[in-house]
Amino acid sequence: MTRFVLGRALLLVLGLLLASVLVFATLRLLPGDVAQVLAGTEGTPAQVAALREQLGLDRPLPVQYLEWLGGLLRGDLGTSLVTGTPVTDEIVEKLGVTLPLAGLSLVVGLVVGVPLGVLSALRHRRASGAVVSAVAQFVASVPAVWMGMVLIAVLAVALGWLPTQGFPVDGWADPVRAVRALLLPALTIGLVEGAVLLRFTRSAAIGALSEDHVVAGAARGQTRTRSLLRHGLPGVALGLVSVLGLQVAGLLVGAVLVEQLFALPGVGRMLVADVGRRDLTKVQGELLALTGLVLVVGALVDVAHRALDPRLRERTS
Partner 1 sequence: MTVLRELLRRPRGAVPAAWLALVALAALVSRWWTPQDPFRADPYQQWQGPSVAHPFGTDAVGRDVLSYVLAASGTTVVVAVASAAVAVVVGVLLAALGSLARRWVREVTVVLVDVLVAFPTILVAMALAAVFGGSLGVVVVAVGVGYGVAIGRVGRGELRRVATSDYVLAGRAAGLGAWGSLRRHVLPNAAPVLVVQVSLAMATSVLAEAGLSFLGYGASAATPSWGRLLSDLQPFLAVHPWTVAWPGLAITLTVLSLNLLGDALRDAADPRLRTSGRRPAERTAP
Q: State the residues that interact with partner 1 by CB under 8 A.
A: 11, 14-15, 18-19, 22-23, 26-27, 30-32, 137-138, 140-146, 149-150, 152-153, 157-158, 164, 249-250, 252-253, 256-257, 260-261, 271-272, 274-276, 278, 280, 283, 287, 290-291, 294-295, 298
CB 285 within 8 A of CB 77: yes
Radius of gyration of the chain, Cα coordinates, nearest whole angstrom:
24
Nearest CB to partner 1, comparing residues 69 and 149: 149
User: Are 166 and 159 contacting, i.e. CB atoms less than 8 angstroms apart?
Assistant: no
Nearer to partner 1, 236 or 283 (CB): 283
In the complex, minimum distance from the CB of residue 181 to partner 1, in angstroms, rounded to a whole number: 17
Minimum distance, C-beta of residue 15 to partner 1, in the bound complex (Å): 4
Residue closer to partner 1 (CB basis): 195 or 214: 195
Reduce the DSSP state of residue 86 to 3 states and report it.
strand
Provide the 8-state DSSP code for 152: I
Using alpha carbons, list the distances in angstroms from residue 35 to 54, 66, 248, 273. 10, 20, 36, 19
Q: Which is nearer to partner 1, 145 or 162 (CB)?
A: 145
Separation CA 249–CA 261 (nearest Å): 19
State which amino acid sits at residue 54. Q
CB-wise, 137 or 225, nearer to partner 1? 137
CB of 145 to partner 1, least distance (A): 5
Runs of H (alpha helix) within the chain:
2-29, 34-39, 45-55, 61-73, 87-122, 127-140, 144-151, 175-209, 212-219, 224-227, 233-261, 267-277, 280-308
The residue (of 117 and 148) whose beta carbon lies closer to partner 1 is 148
DSSP per-residue codes, 176-202:
HHHHHHHHHHHHHHHHHHHHHHHHHHH
Report the nearest approach of partner 1 to the CB of residue 6 (Å): 16
Using the minimum distance from each CB to partner 1, give the nearer residue, 185 or 232: 185
Amino acid identity at 72:
L
- What's the min distance (Å) between Cβ of 140 and partner 1? 7
- Minimum CB–partner distance for residue 261 and partner 1 (Å): 7
User: Could you give the angle at the alpha carbon of 89 between the alpha carbons of 250 and 272, nearest 5°?
Assistant: 40
Least separation in angstroms between residue 172's CB and partner 1 is 26
